[in-house]
Amino acid sequence: MAQENKMGTMPVNKLLITMSLPMMLSMLVQALYNVVDSIFVSRINENALTAVSLAFPIQTLMISVAGGTCVGINAVLSKALGEKNQEKVNRTAGNGIVLMGISYVLFLAVGLFASKAFYLSQTNDAQIVQYGYDYLSVICCYSFGLFAQFTFERLLQSTGKTFYIMITQGTGAIINIILDPVFIFGLCGMPKMGVQGAAVATVIGQIAAGVIAFLFNRKKNDEIRLELREFVMEWDIVGQIYKIGLPSMIMQAIGSVMTYGMNLILISFTSTATAVFGVYFKLQSFIFMPVFGMNNGLVPILAYNYGAGRRDRFVMALKSAVLYAMAIMFVGIIIFQMIPGKLFQLFAASDTMLQIGIPALRIISLSYIFAGYNIICGTAFQALGNAVYSMIVSIARQLVVLLPAAYLLALLGNVNYVWWSFPIAEIASLTMTTIFLIKINKDVIRHIGEEPG
């Protein structure tokens, strides 16, 4: 611990790129296999694509629990590294692993007992319900791979070893992409599993990535020691993890509620509208995943330099990340405005899907103008231990503004009006984010590195 970590010494712009680029590339691969999943499933029929789309709220909830917990682990552990507190580093890692194990048990119960009821709450179409149960029960019951992958990748991230995360995520994604057609269509002597095959391919990829990430921690991550005596719940550490991670978890889980609500609104028009919404979420991941990859690279940089009292490096990293994120989102706007029809044709889109989907992409992408700024500022709130600000913004955006706006616009009788709820909600998010950024700059950022007194 005597040697200074690169997060305190490397030039900030180079550090941000070094930390973020592997994460951005690996998340692009993740986005690719999510899209490939749906492309293969759409070849079965549109109901299969709809079933996978309707599973998204539970998958989002699962990722929100894993991701939110890891935000807390990452921030607490990185701050301990900045403070040169090796004992707290190890205790945080051990407690984080235990918390992820508990999280898996919760979703195992969902897979065993609640999958079919979840689909029946959205549709009475027997084929969609059966497809959905086949898919979601596998995803939940074997989600230990996802939780292991999240945990061990974030331990690597917290010490700046993001290159290894690119390997783990890339390997898991490639395995998924290769196995998708094999299991879905019964290639290479395998039985034809249909929608369930897509789920099996996904969990195998996640398990492989989790195992590799664990091995990298054991062999390459000298700054964290994973020992059995650290795998004991310590409520002070758990409290610190969830003080930062719980608002992030709630913030992401709100996305699950929003998606569920939007599915109910859209399916009242036609199941095709729900399929369009599912395809949109797959496509937008190509734009948002690089920004979230930068997010993941930014969190330990901000937390480390906050703990080390380096305000100059903190501010420079934050400003650079905002600029990069806004540039990425601008590229997304151009793509969705220019070739929406070609994107939907990847999913064997019917004329009805194209009629609904093309205006959907063009309208929703207008909200990207502000999204990059909002996402990065939310990351800064989390790194400073004020994740509740991000939670408030997320609740206001998705529950107070977006869903009510979508419902009211749906009353006009045209599904295309519903998509305008996204730009409306993003403008509200921009306003609140800016207010909180001004406040946290005055209360915290300006005072980083000052002697207490």
> Does position 157 have pLDDT exceeding 90, yes or no?
no
Q: What pLDDT score was predicted for residue 231?
A: 67
Q: What pLDDT score was predicted for residue 228?
A: 59
> Does position 219 have pLDDT exceeding 70, yes or no?
yes
Q: What pLDDT score was predicted for residue 1?
A: 41
Using CA of residue 38, residue 39, residue 40, residue 45, what is the dihedral sign? positive
Distance CA(163)–CA(300), nearest Å, equals: 14
* More confident call, 452 vs 365: 365
pLDDT bucket at 2, cuts 50 / 70 / 90:
very low
> Span 201-221, mean pLDDT?
92
Residue 92 near residue 224 (C-beta atoms within 8 A):
no
Q: What pLDDT score was predicted for residue 205?
A: 93
Please give the share of the chain, as a percent, with pLDDT higher than 90: 51
Distance CA(236)–CA(249), nearest Å, equals: 19
Closest CA to 450 of 300, 311, 316, 318: 311
* More confident call, 9 vs 444: 444
pLDDT bucket at 343, cuts 50 / 70 / 90:
very high
> Does position 408 have pLDDT exceeding 50, yes or no?
yes
Tokens standing for residue 439: 């406040």
pLDDT bucket at 56, cuts 50 / 70 / 90:
confident
pLDDT bucket at 229, cuts 50 / 70 / 90:
low
Distance CA(73)–CA(90), nearest Å, equals: 11
Residue with tokens 């989390």: 382
pTM for the full predicted model: 0.79
The three-state secondary structure class of 58 is helix
Q: What pLDDT score was predicted for residue 451?
A: 64
Q: What pLDDT score was predicted for residue 416?
A: 94
Distance CA(263)–CA(270), nearest Å, equals: 10
Tokens standing for residue 107: 């979703």
Which of 1-10, 104-113, 132-141, 338-347 shows the lowest per-residue confidence on average (mean pLDDT)? Answer: 1-10
Q: What pLDDT score was predicted for residue 452?
A: 56
> Does position 230 have pLDDT exceeding 80, yes or no?
no
pLDDT bucket at 354, cuts 50 / 70 / 90:
very high
Identity (one letter) of the amino acid at 278? G
> Does position 99 have pLDDT exceeding 80, yes or no?
yes
> Does position 155 have pLDDT exceeding 50, yes or no?
yes
Residue 266 near residue 275 (C-beta atoms within 8 A):
no
Residue count of the chain: 453
Q: What pLDDT score was predicted for residue 28?
A: 79
> Span 119-134, mean pLDDT?
94
> Span 185-190, mean pLDDT?
91
Q: What pLDDT score was predicted for residue 418?
A: 97
Closest CA to 441 of 394, 376, 377: 377
Q: What phi and psi values does residue 143 have, to the nearest 5 degrees?
A: -75, 0
How far from chain centre, in Å, is Cα 3?
33
Q: What pLDDT score was predicted for residue 89?
A: 79
Q: What pLDDT score was predicted for residue 310?
A: 85
* More confident call, 171 vs 20: 171
> Span 243-252, mean pLDDT?
78
> Does position 307 have pLDDT exceeding 70, yes or no?
yes
Residue 285 near residue 29 (C-beta atoms within 8 A):
no
| Mean per-residue pLDDT of the chain | 88
> Span 303-327, mean pLDDT?
88
> Does position 104 have pLDDT exceeding 90, yes or no?
yes
The model's pLDDT over 256-297, given as tens digits with 9 standing for 90+, comes to 899 999 999 999 999 999 999 999 988 998 898 888 888 878
